[in-house]
Amino acid sequence: MAYLLEQGIPVDRILLLTFTNKAARELIDRVQNLIGGDTAGLWGGTFHSVGHRVLRRYAAAVGYLSEAADEVGAHLVHVSTDFVFDGCSETPYRTDDEPRPLSVYGKSKLAGEEAVAGAGGQWTTVRSSWLLGATGANFVSTILARARGGAPLRVVDDQRGSPTCARDLAGTTADLIDIGATGLVHVANGGTATWYELARSALEVAELEADLQPVSSEEWKAAAVRPRDSVLDVGETEALLGRSLAPWPEALRAFLTGGAA
């Protein structure tokens, strides 16, 4: 919200709803306190019965916000995720491709999208992926911290997506609002990478050496159910803006060296 206000977007035009990984993790922590469960197991789609209750409440909350925005004439911006797809497509996902979420997290985000679209009013749903930001935990900061600690790194090399810096996401979203874009859009930095390729690039930019080895999803055995290939097609967004979105290696370097990403 602060970045959008810095760009001169009037606050009365925007009701910004952003559920980040950090916020989702905080929600899971609260659920864990209630049921005494395993946070790692909950995160990424194995909420079981508790997760389905969270899903329904999430969708209802987004619906209430959508209705409130419509009542006051505000423009609702809802941030969603590549997790609404199953990762089986051989081409980047377009906005008109059918969502097939694998996890409760993905299903909750899709339910939010549907609540926004069904409430009426002026809205924009922005799907993004593999976010990196200056605050909160994210994949790159975790990799660098473990490398500095001398830990061996085993990183999945058979899942592919679109790494995206949060500042680029915020700036592009502000640009879309400024030109009056509505409906469903995809925003991600250009290009694709696996988690292993992203980790290797981050280590190179940070000039760190580490014992980095690629592994398969089966070898990693993560509790999270993640799409194998969730690359987002940003062609429609680039056409709307009349410019290309920054490639992820450029955004990653700017992010790690204190640049504009």
Q: What is the C-alpha separation between 232 and 93, in angstroms, rounded?
A: 5
What's the CA gap between 98 and 84, in Å, rounded? 9
105 is catalytic: yes
Domains, in order of start, for the chain: 15-256 (3.40.50.720)
Task: In whole angstroms, give the CA distance from residue 175 to residue 18.
Answer: 17
Unique residue bearing structure tokens 């580490």: 210
Structure-derived torsion over alpha carbons of residues 188, 2, 62, 71, reported in degrees to the nearest 10: -120
Cα separation, 65 vs 57, whole angstroms: 12
What pTM does this model have?
Answer: 0.79
Report the pLDDT value the prediction gives residue 51, as an integer from 0 to 100.
58
Check residue 8 and give its pLDDT.
53
**Which residue from 65, 54, 59, 52 is spatially nearest to 29, judged by alpha carbons?**
54
- Look at residue 189 in the predicted model and tell me its pLDDT: 97
The catalytic residue among 3, 64, 93, 105 is 105
Write down the pLDDT at residue 61.
Answer: 81
Determine the pLDDT at residue 11: 47
Cβ atoms of 261 and 252 within 8 Å: the answer is yes
Contacts of 243 (CB under 8 A, 6+ apart): none
Q: Give the closest residue to 177 by CA, choosing from 188, 167, 185.
A: 185
What was the pLDDT predicted at 52?
Answer: 64
pLDDT tens-digit map of 173-197: 999 999 999 999 999 999 999 999 9
Tokens coding 138: 């994210």
Looking at residue 248, what DSSP letter applies? H
pLDDT at 107: 87
Q: Tell me if 173 sits within 8 A of 77, measured CB to CB.
A: yes
Q: What is the pLDDT of residue 217?
A: 85
Token representation of residue 1: 């919200």
User: Which residues of the chain register pLDDT less than 50?
Assistant: 1, 3, 5, 11-49, 260-261
Query: For position 15, what pLDDT does the model report?
Result: 45
Q: What is the pLDDT of residue 225?
A: 78
